[in-house]
Amino acid sequence: MEVGFLGLGIMGKAMALNLLRNGFKVTVWNRTLSKCDELVEHGASVGETPAAVIKKCKYTIAILSDPSAAFSVVFDKDGVLEEICNGKGYIDMSTVDAETSSKISKAITEKGGYFLEAPVSGSKKPAEDGQLVILAAGEKTLYDEVIPAFDVLGKKSFFLGQIGNGAKMKLVINMIMGSMMNALSEGLVLAERSGLEQQKLLDILDLGGIANPMFKQKGPAMIQGSFPPAFPLKHQQKDMRLALALGDENAVAMPVAAAANEAFKKARSLGLGDKDFSAVYEVVKVLQHSAGKS
């Protein structure tokens, strides 16, 4: 199977490499073209523009940072829309809001193409290991056709129905995740300030009903003050913002998520946007420090 791949960030690079390793022919494009070099070493071809990739491939996957990047790759000059046509499928795996996804879907289908939104749950390591969870919605025929690729990229795929459902499910999940990361950060600070060993807290958490892989994976590095980006904090804040907007639309009060969003915004203002989202711990520490002084 031949696929195009647009966007070679943390997730896209790992996913495209996985497809290559599993025998797919892959044609890649990235805004910063030099990021294609490593993929070429593993057998990928390069398309000079998104339009060139679409022209060459029946199916093209994209995973880009945010709604504005997803729009730009589709609607700008040399973008997807210039070559999408009857029989070609476009699969956007970026985390965006349902409105963004619907606008892209409409534009693609008006030109005769098929569209699927398919955001993913799971971070850098699951992407490398082909263990993502895929939350697809849109054109069911296209979903069925690209299952061989999804089986390489993920451990489980869901088809959630009409366009927007995949985007919304992903935002709900990341809203919960961002709130949990803030709770863990507060817990780590509270433990330290009240004279407890932080590692002991993690060990005890891991034995009970709120044990989870995220606390286990991120906790020890957080204590060390180490935040190598697996899921960049700026993207987590984007997801909190989009989830809160979904809450607005549906009149759902989310005071916990709103407070977590403020902490992620503060982290961005402190220049932590490109660190892992667990770096919000630094903000919680600073806030406690200032409070202690007054």
Minimum Å distance from CB 180 to ligand NAP?
Answer: 15
Minimum Å distance from CB 269 to ligand NAP?
Answer: 19
Tokens of 231: 């899921």
Dihedrals phi, psi of 120, to nearest 5 degrees: -120, 145
Binding status of residue 287 toward ligand NAP by CB under 6 A: no
Separation CA 184–CA 190 (nearest Å): 10
* Side chain identity at residue 241, one-letter code: R
Minimum Å distance from CB 132 to ligand NAP?
Answer: 8
- CB distance 261 to 241 below 8 Å: yes
The residue range among 57-65, 161-169, 200-208, 251-259 that interacts with ligand NAP, by the rule CB under 6 A, is 57-65
Alpha helices in 22-81 (DSSP H): 37-41, 50-56, 67-75
Binding status of residue 275 toward ligand NAP by CB under 6 A: no
Residues within window 109-138 making contact with ligand NAP, judged by CB under 6 A? 120, 123-124
SS3 content of the chain, % helix, strand, coil (to 5): 60, 15, 30
Q: In the block, which residue shows the tokens 């977590």?
A: 260
Cα pseudo-dihedral 13, 123, 149, 156, rounded to 10:
170
> Which one of residues 20, 61, 63, 188 is an interface residue with ligand NAP (CB under 6 A)?
63
Q: At what angle do helices 165-193 and 280-293 cross, to 10 degrees?
A: 40
Total of residues contacting ligand NAP (CB under 6 A)? 26
Q: Which sequence positions are flagged as catalytic?
A: 170
Tokens of 238: 């984007």
Q: Which residue's Cβ lies closest to ligand NAP? A: 9
- CB distance 60 to 54 below 8 Å: yes
The residue range among 161-169, 193-201, 218-226, 231-239 that interacts with ligand NAP, by the rule CB under 6 A, is 231-239
Nearest residue to 2 (alpha-carbon basis) of 57, 61, 47 = 57
CB-wise, 57 or 62, nearer to ligand NAP? 62
Residues within window 65-84 making contact with ligand NAP, judged by CB under 6 A? 65-66, 69, 72-73
CB-wise, 202 or 230, nearer to ligand NAP? 230
86-105 footprint of ligand NAP as x/- string (CB under 6 A)? --------xx----------
DSSP string, 192-218: HHTT--HHHHHHHHTTSTT--HHHHHH
Binding status of residue 232 toward ligand NAP by CB under 6 A: yes
First and final CA of the chain: distance in angstroms? Answer: 63
The residue range among 108-116, 188-196, 214-222, 227-235 that interacts with ligand NAP, by the rule CB under 6 A, is 227-235
CB-wise, 120 or 222, nearer to ligand NAP? 120
3-42 footprint of ligand NAP as x/- string (CB under 6 A)? ----xxxxxx-----------------xxx--x-------
**Contact residues for ligand NAP, defined by CB under 6 A:** 7-12, 30-32, 35, 63-66, 69, 72-73, 94-95, 120, 123-124, 230-232, 235
